[in-house]
Amino acid sequence: MLRWTDPYTTMDDKWRSQFVCLDDFETRSSELLPQRTWVYYSSGAGDEDTLRENRDAFRRYWLKPRVLRDVSVRDMSTTVLGEKIDMPICISPTAFHGLAHPEGEIATCKAAADMKTLMILSAGSTTSLEDITAARPTSAKWQDIYFWPDRTATRDMVKRAEIAGFKAIVVTVDIPEIGSRRKHIQVFGKSLQPLQPGMQLKNLKKYMNQSSDSIDDGKQFAKSDNRSTWRDIAWLKTMTTLPIVLKGILTVEDAILAAEHHVQAIMVSNHGARQLDSVPATIDVLSEIVAAVGDKLEVYVDGGVRTGTDVLKALALGARAVFIGRPVLFGLACNGEEGVKAVLHILREELSTAMALTGCSRLRDISRDLVTTKSCWSKL
């Protein structure tokens, strides 16, 4: 209900004045980060058509504001898989936070906890999941996994996550092979990994060449086993009672299969447009997926979210929560934990303002008839 300690107000006024929207963090981080790191974080697959489309698609949806409603107090709290969070804006799993800031995923975890929202820890984390728990024992966190060729690694990650207090397992399902990332190849050659000497995949180092710190010795962990099938979901359910979320669903057909396999949630995602180019923007397929399975499981979305109105549109189209990836990395690069807090704060405040201006005081007031497309608006 907007009753919270605002971490943004503790920052230097001059610093805050330089970052008034999420694009400001992206611009500044492009200047701060080494080229290799910037290319790794920012680039997409192929010609990057889907990378651009993820953001451009939001602009095709227009809001239909309602007036003369009491919006003096806005409540943005919600639950994800039964866990209460203060806003429907959460953090997607992204690899290698240690490249953006020395504190890496620890800083991100602390920021998410202080903002009372959820973080998904990437399987490609440069911080161990046990250290994440030690940093914020009671924070809302889920663990990302792949179906690796060595299923022992998958099983062990799940068990460690359970012990460490993670509340759900997120299976990234859209990477049986690494997408064609041309900008990566131009910078890195055949290696797609930008880790610096001494950096490790902390949650997977047990399964890598212990005689070397090189991430190239762990390339097999950058993707799933391409023999994985829906049977692996059934296998996963035999080893954990934690809720299972499938990340990387883009079609109604796969959403229905997810529901039939009794997972608890899906994330509509195209992997930040890093896998297959020429696929739809996630916001464009969200509503049809929600219509097909929204009464059977929770549906989240990521990809291209940069403003509070983007969040509002996604919620109106049926998402229970939105997840952000690159903006978190950009905030981390600019000012560590405080930078991530600022990114989350800006989105929260923009969402609050957008809710007020469309006549919504609670998330349940945000309905499908709040949005239309430009073409439909012109016919009204």
Cite the active site residues. Answer: 271
pLDDT digits (tens, 9 = 90+) for 88-104: 999 999 999 999 999 99
Structural domain harbouring 146: 7-377
pLDDT value of position 210: 45
Confidence of residue 189 (pLDDT cuts 50, 70, 90): low
Please give the average per-residue pLDDT across 251-275, as a whole number.
Answer: 98
CA–CA distance, 39 with 36 (Å, rounded to integer) = 5
Determine the residue type at 255. A
Query: Does the pLDDT of residue 277 top 70, yes or no?
Result: yes
Domain count across the chain: 1
Rg (CA), the chain: 20
pLDDT value of position 197: 64
Helices 326-357, 22-32: inter-axial angle, 10-degree rounding = 170
pLDDT digits (tens, 9 = 90+) for 333-375: 999 999 999 999 999 999 999 999 999 999 999 999 999 987 6
pLDDT value of position 8: 45
Determine, yes or no, domain membership for 1. Answer: no
CA-to-CA dists, residue 340 to 17, 33, 73, 201, 235, angstroms: 16, 16, 25, 22, 36
Determine, yes or no, domain membership for 274. Answer: yes
pLDDT value of position 17: 76
Structure tokens at 324: 């952000």
Residue 112 and residue 118 in contact, taking contact as beta carbons nearer than 8 Å: yes
Determine, yes or no, domain membership for 128. Answer: yes
- Kindly report the pTM of this predicted structure: 0.93
Determine, yes or no, domain membership for 240. Answer: yes
Collapsed DSSP state (helix, strand, coil) of residue 119: strand
Determine, yes or no, domain membership for 61. Answer: yes
Question: CATH number for the domain including 12?
Answer: 3.20.20.70
Determine, yes or no, domain membership for 148. Answer: yes
Determine, yes or no, domain membership for 75. Answer: yes
Kindly state the greatest CA–CA separation across the chain. 67
Determine, yes or no, domain membership for 233. Answer: yes
